[in-house]
Copies of this chain bind each other. A is one copy, B any other.
Amino acid sequence: MELEKQLDYLFNPGSVALIGASNNLAKWGFHILSLLIAKDGRHIYPVNRNGNEIQGLKAYQSVSQVPGPVDLAVITVPFIEVPAAMEDCARKGVKVAVVISGGFAETGGEGAGIQREVVEIARRAGIRFVGPNCMGHFDTSADFFTVPYLPPVSKGPLALIAQSGNTSQSIVYLACELGLGFSKYVSSGNEADLHFEDYMEYLARDDETKIILGYIEGLKEGRRFFKLARELTRKKPVVIMKAGRTEAGARAARSHTAALAGSDVVCEAALKQSGVIRVEEVNELIDVALVLLGQPLPRGRRVGVLSAGGGAAVIAADALMRQHLELPQLSPGTIDKLNSLLPSRWSHVNPVETGGDPFSYACLWALMEDENVDAAFVIGGGGVTGSYAKWVSLPASVSNQIEQYLEEAEVGELNDVDKSMESMKKYQKPIIFANMGVPTPRKGKVYEKLQKEYIIPFLTPERAAKALSHLVQYSEYLRA
């Protein structure tokens, strides 16, 4: 059977055997089974050497005793028992497997030999498998999940391949918190059989996947990875966090997924030449996904900054400069427009600083129209009027006034956000919103409207500047 077909079965099997199914809540085999049962529509077969009944289902002592066909086997038994389980899968004619169990090549000991044994058994039988030492996988379209340690995941444009279960878990949590959805996910573990590159090739052809996110400690097929990446990044962005940058990190990676990483400098250069966006932190994967989803590709690195406060303007300027972005002079026409919109004490240069007043969105539109500006960066501003009204007791007349003022302001801002989105589409320039801790807006209708467009205010100007810088560099790569 060809690989693509096998991976189709992996992500959307008709029947699943769980080898290591358990009634014991401390075992993975308990939670995976609960989850498989809860998600209807597939044949689920608990397998456990004791047989009997598990969570209300008849349990089989081995996969070969299962009456119907088994597309996918999920294996959670201790590593020492995995070769026998794989033998049994071979006898049964299982198509594809996920080996959750750890204790293999990553330990450097006895497990390494057992891992080789498992690979040989699977190869002879034509079974391809995920792992070992992994956390499972999911497909939101097929509504199929083997990983029970996640928040509710919605359908969406992101795919994730990760050489670490707990890191992937963090990535999914961070994305879900912002309302971002996933197409497919796989925790690839030690990659004894299926490699990062196999999943990548498969996701390249997956129409539901718009962006591929990856967490890497070491590549099994570096040459193939970079060849694939060069083709892929012209069509879909690939965003990679490669860990083990430092000596101690690389050493830890060896004892994790048995990864043998080469020089980080060489890796960095190769990623860059392939158009891969490399990030340094887990948060940054999601930050970059956001700007890729929500923003047009900028035509240059000249940023117009709009700030409702002087400190924020200084901090934004520092953050943008440190990411090698530019703060251009504004054109005389823009200065004229801003003169008519702002009190005379405004900064009169880029960053445009209002002199402490909340800005009107018309200032943003003026920046967007400026031919010297490739992207707008909006920081701070608004949203805290009357914040004290929530914690001191005011006369009803005052608190009603504040409430009405805020409601009217919200209606106005919703309208302004629409116009800003039009301006973004018309000029094909990104608009990056950032704040520094003041939650503006972190909820309410304005936030919801922005969130639908993947335009979520960044929590720090530094993160916002970094994300914009990645977008600029990717755009430069595609245009080169």
Contact = CB atoms under 8 A, between A and B. Distances in A.
A72 interface: no
A460 B255 CA distance: 22
Contact of A151 (B31, B107, B345, B391): B391
A384 B168 CA distance: 13
A317 interface: yes
A56 B102 contact: no
Q: How large is the interface on A (under 10, 10 to 19, 20 to 34, 35 or more residues)?
A: 35 or more
Contacts of A393: 38
A345 to B, nearest CB: 4
B281 A462 contact: yes
B103 A355 contact: yes
A316 B243 CA distance: 10
Contact of A317 (B177, B246, B327, B398): B246
Interface in A241-279: 243-249, 251-253, 255-257
Contacts of A430: none
Given A152-B391, A437-B171, A246 B318 contact: yes
A111 B170 contact: no
Given A55-B398, A313-B256, A345-B79, A283 B102 contact: no
Given A148-B388, A152-B391, A438-B170, A314 B249 contact: yes
Contacts of A401: 25
Contact of A344 (B107, B389, B405): B107
Counting chain B CB atoms within 10 Å of each CB, the highest count among A282, A314, A395 belongs to: A314
Nearest to A107: B345
A255 B215 CA distance: 43
Contacts of A396: none
Interface string A125-158: 0000000010100000000010011111000000
A164 B248 CA distance: 40
Max chain B Cβ within 10 angstroms of own Cβ: one of A248, A321, A437: A248
Interface string A225-245: 000000000000000000111
Contact of A248 (B215, B308, B327): B327
Interface centre among A79, A308, A355, A390 (most CB of B within 10 A): A355
A174 interface: yes
Interface of A: 25, 31, 34-35, 38-39, 55-56, 79, 102-103, 106-107, 109, 111, 133, 135, 145, 148-152, 162-171, 173-174, 177, 215, 217, 243-249, 251-253, 255-257, 280-283, 308-318, 320-322, 327, 343-345, 347-349, 351, 353, 355-356, 380, 384-395, 398, 401-402, 405, 435-439, 460, 462
